[in-house]
Structure 1
């Protein structure tokens, strides 16, 4: 059946040599509908972001852009805010014909404003890998709000595999919502399920967080460790509006509590650019079971990573800022996002990345 490949199919790809690993799998690396990708042992500081381009390899292009290289050790190395790095990954691919792949940053990566994209030999797009690709994978990393300490094996991005096309049409999405509600409010369906921003919380006036411009380094291995007040300013609203400042990075939350049924997966996609000069730094994939009762959920808010461009912009409660594109799974995953795999963000509301102490 066409669709997104589940965890058991990913494990079969590893057994068949279609995914090769420099080191054995680590616990939790295979997710319900994706595979976490691991940093290798060297990071190249480069002058600019680049794509290999048709007929060229990343290693060939690297000689044009490399400034210096950093050995990643167990003691860790700092990737500095505002710099661009290229890191070979521990996973490589030999995709069968008919199987494509798409990569994305993990949720915690996006919530740190850590731009992480996957590039390949011969690639002309970020994060998109064509059927039949054989070769290495690289992570391009640009810390935009905080400098970070990284080590080999850390998992900043993830990859999802598809057999054919299985994106739900708007009509199919409406039928699914009628059968099993996907959100707890009226569904806005237009090339996907609309995601809007919540600026009128049920209690209090806290609606989000804004990254402070001058902070310390974040060690990505430290979970529940950092004081949010040292890295974030609270954003409050008593009238359902906030003004986004150009260049600033915000953590906000969706008005909708979302559910992803076990037979489906979803991906966050941008909304129309005409709605305003800002962008949701959509961090990624929504696995089967996200927010769903079958996986211990009762609807989960989507965390929005928002950056404003060019001019201050007034964001208002209920404004649509992104959309969820739903896809069918090729088969039901053997594990679901949520309770059974101790997922970090099941049942979430407004929430910073797992590195910070709970507010």
Structure 2
């Protein structure tokens, strides 16, 4: 049975095959570590536009809509600061010509979500953010909206990733994700009016300049409206080698907060086979209209598991990872927290 007839997430070797066939092309050579076990990192192109409003293309191309709402253009080849509270649309280097039966879905990379940068994929005539229609042929763009910190990006910066699918994969199971509020430091809250985060500078920022540690009381934490929090899951997360998962927000009726960004978990994350036993999921949480008391163990998200079409030739962490075997952990841009 061909992959197109076997519903599931495409593993790394299938993504590499699509690249070899020209179904995914790029303006510059692909980076050696760009293809992950079950996803493809996408890279910023040469230009980004500050726009006055977010949009969906509808019946138009993305470039046509940019022409209607652009305020000014920035050159990413020299690097540019994207300011918090503003909305930008950037070119991506990768272009798609998906074969019949193959669709895709995008998500922020873990490091992007952990610095509260809201990103969404746009395609020509796209009816929804982040979803790429079966057989789509055309360019890809990314909406970028920094929320807490202004960020420095440049051509080649990776903010989101693409998961390719054959058919409509079955949902194998859905697991609840609780929050851990038992540690001496249970999480971090983003400091407003902090400096700029260089998104290509690993271990390059003092976390104390950007984050405030949070000490829970009696296993509880009060979330303030509009603030951004980094917390950790109560339970370890383990993604079997023949599966992939996506973290999704819970029903808002459970509480006046949400896990701010969905996230992809690649096969092998948290598994003993990939030397990641005991890894936790990191949660990006924002409270909405009212203050909300979060309790230890309370469900804050769901993990949705889907099958791969076949076992990947490499697992999460094989190319190196900042987040395998993680506990409560800030993004890779920050040095290890110390008082």
Q: Shorter chain as normaliser: what TM range?
A: over 0.9
- 2:13 paired with 1:8: yes
| Bigger shift: residues 292-301 or 99-108 | 292-301
Q: Is the contact made by 1:104 and 1:284 (CA closer than 8 Å) also made in structure 2?
A: yes
Matched, 1:214 2:189: no
Partner in structure 2 of residue 67 of structure 1: 71
Q: Residue 44 of structure 1 aligns with which residue?
A: 49
Which consecutive unaligned segments of at least 5 residues does structure 1 have?
174-191
Q: Is the contact between residue 248 and residue 262 of structure 2 (CA under 8 Å) also seen in structure 1?
A: no
CA-atom RMSD in angstroms: 0.9
1:85-164 alignment to 2 at 5 Å? 85-164=88-167
1:247-271 CA distances to partner (integer Å, 9 max, x unpaired)? 0000000001011110000001111
Cα offset, 1:283, TM superposition: 4.4
Map 1:118-267 → 2, pairs under 5 A: 118-169=121-172, 173=173, 192-201=174-183, 205-267=184-246
Deviation digits for residues 122-164 of structure 1, max 9, x if unmatched? 0111101110111110010001010111110111000000001
Check if 1:350 corresponds to 2:332: no
8 Å CA contact retained: 1:107, 1:283: no
Q: Distance in 1 between matches of 2:97 and 2:153?
A: 27
| Aligned equivalents of 2:82, 2:103: Cα separation in 1 | 31
Aligned length: 332
1:296 aligned to 240, 256, 275, which one? 275
Gaps of 5+ in 2: 1-5
User: Hey, what does 1:286 align to over in structure 2?
Assistant: 265
Structure 1: how far apart are the matches of 2:69 and 2:171? 41
Whole-angstrom distance in 1 between the partners of 2:115 and 2:99: 34
CA distances 1:200-231 after superposition (whole Å, capped 9, x unpaired): 13xxx210000001111111121111111110
Structure 1 residues 230-259: Cα deviation after superposition (integer angstroms, max 9, x where no partner): 100111113111110010000000001011
Cα deviations by residue, 1:275-329 (Å, 9 ceiling, x for unpaired): 1111102341100000001101113100000011111011111110100000100
**Separation of aligned partners in 1, 2:167 and 2:135:** 13
Which stretch of structure 1 is more off in the superposition, 346-355 or 220-229?
220-229
Q: Say whether 1:78 aligns with 2:60.
A: no
